[in-house]
């Protein structure tokens, strides 16, 4: 059965490139003869029926902007059967055949529950595309927004280096990544950090301490999810260890900088825009071929479709 209508949404934490993704989906869909609807505010908007028909021009002049024009949310209500039933009714009322969602692992879990063949509330097709700065979606080498976040954090650290070098000051820089050290690793390499602390490996504070003692000014990158407990906690531990017992005047010269949500904003890099566009068109093509409960990924530079 040929599909006629698709809906596109962004979900979970936003990531730079989501607008390029929306643009790509809307325009590819329209060019292929489909009606395309935009869902505002992620799963919560789907429950509240915030669906709007998109035109070719409705996605004009957004490719260069961070954030998402459709907005996004983390919906608790969609985790309930009642919430998902409301969402399904809204899609059915408009005759939507396929839902394409750009988000992270939480958003994928939502799609899976929603369209599960036995227990799901919706009978239409669902396709996930990976959008998160964390790069923590299984089955894809890269997620939309990861590259921009690396560059944003790297540029911030370049600036910290200027002042760090002038004052012989060490910096402990916290980057995002609740469960995944990909962003911290990439940022650490790109900005020449001597230590990168990530959730996947045990942190050796003595090694970090040695590095601080050996270098005039040092950059330590720590993922927010590192088991030590983040940049401020690390600073506390290091300060205690750095100062000889009983020495009151000891004042090690290091500072903490938590980059936080800055990493989620900003104009997407060319790489993220291209990734977003190619994934969007691929998702539309796969929807037309009848794919469901599927995810789009990129593996060794090839677009792939795999099971959610």
CA distances from 303 to 170, 276, 278 (A): 41, 11, 8
The stretch near ligand F6P (CB under 6 A) out of 25-33, 158-166, 171-179, 278-286 is 171-179
Instruction: Give least dist CB 220 to ligand F6P, A.
Output: 18
The stretch near ligand F6P (CB under 6 A) out of 61-69, 75-83, 170-178, 282-290 is 170-178
Within 212-241, which residues bind ligand F6P (CB under 6 A)?
Answer: 224
Instruction: Give least dist CB 28 to ligand F6P, A.
Output: 26
Residue 228: which of 208, 214, 246, 248 has the closest Cα? 208
Binding to ligand F6P by residue 176, rule CB under 6 A? Answer: yes
Q: Which residues are catalytic?
A: 134
The whole-angstrom distance between residue 117's C-alpha and the CA centroid of its chain comes to: 28
Helix or strand (DSSP H, E) at 213:
helix 205-214
Instruction: Give least dist CB 12 to ligand F6P, A.
Output: 6
Is residue 141 within 8 Å of residue 295, measured between CB atoms? no
Instruction: Give least dist CB 103 to ligand F6P, A.
Output: 9
Is residue 286 within 8 Å of residue 25, measured between CB atoms? no
Binding to ligand F6P by residue 272, rule CB under 6 A? Answer: no
Q: Return the axis-axis angle of helices 146-167 and 270-288, rounded to nearest 10°.
A: 160
Instruction: Give least dist CB 87 to ligand F6P, A.
Output: 21
Is residue 18 within 8 Å of residue 131, measured between CB atoms? yes
Among 134, 174, 182, 272, binds ligand F6P (CB under 6 A): 134
Mark 77-106 with x for binding to ligand F6P (rule: CB under 6 A) and - for no binding: ---------------------------x--
Residue 124: which of 295, 281, 240, 293 has the closest Cα? 293
Among 18, 26, 111, 133, binds ligand F6P (CB under 6 A): 133
Question: Running DSSP on this structure, what letter comes out for residue 258?
Answer: E
The site for ligand F6P (CB under 6 A) is made up of 13, 104, 132-134, 176-178, 224, 264
């Amino acid at each position: 059965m040929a599909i006629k209508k698709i809906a596109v949404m962004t979900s979970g934490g936003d990531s730079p490139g989501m607008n390029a993704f929306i643009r790509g989906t809307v325009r590819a869909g329209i060019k292929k003869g489909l009606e395309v609807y935009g869902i505002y505010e992620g799963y919560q908007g789907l429950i509240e029926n915030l669906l709007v028909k998109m035109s070719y021009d409705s996605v004009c002049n957004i490719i260069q902007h961070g954030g998402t024009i459709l907005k996004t949310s983390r919906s608790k209500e969609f985790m309930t059967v009642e919430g998902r039933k409301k969402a399904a009714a809204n899609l059915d009322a408009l005759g939507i055949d396929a839902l394409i969602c750009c988000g992270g692992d939480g958003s994928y879990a939502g799609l899976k529950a929603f369209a599960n063949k036995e227990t799901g509330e919706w009978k239409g097709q669902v396709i996930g595309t990976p959008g998160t700065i964390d790069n923590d979606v299984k089955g894809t080498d890269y997620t939309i927004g990861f590259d921009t976040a690396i560059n944003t954090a790297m540029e911030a650290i370049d600036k910290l280096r200027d002042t760090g070098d002038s004052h012989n000051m060490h910096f402990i820089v916290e980057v995002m990544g609740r469960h995944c050290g990909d962003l911290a690793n990439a940022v650490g390499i790109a900005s020449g950090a001597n230590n990168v602390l990530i959730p996947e490996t045990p942190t050796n504070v003595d090694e970090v301490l040695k590095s601080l003692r050996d270098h005039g000014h040092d950059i330590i990158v720590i993922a927010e999810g590192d088991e030590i407990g983040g940049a401020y906690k690390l600073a506390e531990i290091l300060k205690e260890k750095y100062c000889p017992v009983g020495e009151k005047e000891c004042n090690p010269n290091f500072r903490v900088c938590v980059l936080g949500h800055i990493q989620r904003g900003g104009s997407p890099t060319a790489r993220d825009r291209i990734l977003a566009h190619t994934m969007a068109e691929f998702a539309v093509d796969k929807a037309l071929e009848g794919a469901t409960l599927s995810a789009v990924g990129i593996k060794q530079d090839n677009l792939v479709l795999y099971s959610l």
